[in-house]
């Protein structure tokens, strides 16, 4: 993300092996400690990111926007521009199934009065407390992250697709328990051909929109 503080969105895009990468401002200076002020930074990013990303994509002809679970406001920007939005779920599909059912209250999960409850979900073995992700346990606090996950999973209609990253052989039953899944191909089929630029740490920029070449490999699954 760029140093500019509010509305002016972008520097010149760069191209890496045919992939065009553009940038937008997060509304903070380079000296701002984002990790130390994470909670306030999330609010600032949503405020200025919404404006600056909107300005950026207004000059692009995009057929789809792919975002991750931690910037849920991107889906709202896409909707406002009439662009379909996909979420790239970066954790195992089994976790997606657990979170979706937990935050939509489709199954019973451990509570303060019954902390040792076992959970039975489609496509998964019987889950005990020690098998569950910490976010769904009643005694665990993680600041604003559970609220963010709750808002995301209760508003999944904003996303046209959910792209998953999974080893089908390890999660066969969990994946087959979800309707309308379509295997495609690995996001990165051959790590040996990637340019080194993809792995260089950039302190001042975070990519926001990536225009992929027509023949680039896509993600493993879509809903």
pLDDT per residue over 4-38, tens digit each? 444 444 457 788 888 888 888 888 888 888 888 87
Quote helix, strand, coil % in the chain, to nearest 5.
30, 15, 55
Distance CA 115, CA 95 (A): 19
Token pair 């559970």 is at which residue?
146
Q: Give per-residue pLDDT as tens, 68-119.
A: 888 989 999 999 999 999 999 988 889 989 999 999 999 999 999 999 999 9
Distance CA 134, CA 120 (A): 17
At the topology level, CATH places domain 14-222 in Rossmann fold (3.40.50)
Rg (CA), the chain: 19
Q: Give per-residue pLDDT as tens, 116-152.
A: 999 999 889 999 999 999 889 887 666 677 788 888 8
């Amino acid at each position: 993300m760029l140093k500019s503080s509010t509305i002016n969105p972008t520097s010149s895009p760069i191209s890496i092996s045919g992939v065009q990468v553009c940038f937008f401002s997060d509304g903070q200076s380079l000296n701002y400690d984002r990790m130390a002020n994470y909670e306030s930074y999330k609010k600032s990013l949503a405020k200025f990111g919404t404006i600056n990303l909107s300005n950026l994509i207004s000059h692009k002809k995009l057929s789809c926007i792919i975002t991750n679970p931690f910037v849920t406001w991107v889906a709202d920007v896409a909707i406002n521009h009439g662009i379909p939005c996909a979420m790239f779920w970066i954790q195992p599909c089994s976790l997606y199934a657990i979170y979706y059912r937990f935050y939509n209250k489709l199954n019973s999960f451990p509570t303060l009065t019954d902390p040792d409850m076992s959970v039975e979900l489609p496509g998964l073995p019987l889950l005990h407390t020690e098998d569950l992700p910490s976010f769904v346990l009643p005694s665990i606090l993680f600041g604003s992250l559970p609220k963010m996950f709750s808002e995301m999973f209760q508003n999944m209609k904003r996303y046209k697709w959910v792209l998953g990253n999974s080893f089908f052989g390890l999660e066969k039953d969990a994946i087959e328990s979800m309707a309308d899944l379509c295997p495609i191909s690995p996001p990165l089929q051959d790590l040996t051909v990637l340019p080194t630029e993809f792995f260089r740490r950039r302190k001042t920029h975070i990519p926001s929109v990536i225009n992929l070449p027509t023949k680039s490999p896509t993600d493993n699954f879509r809903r």
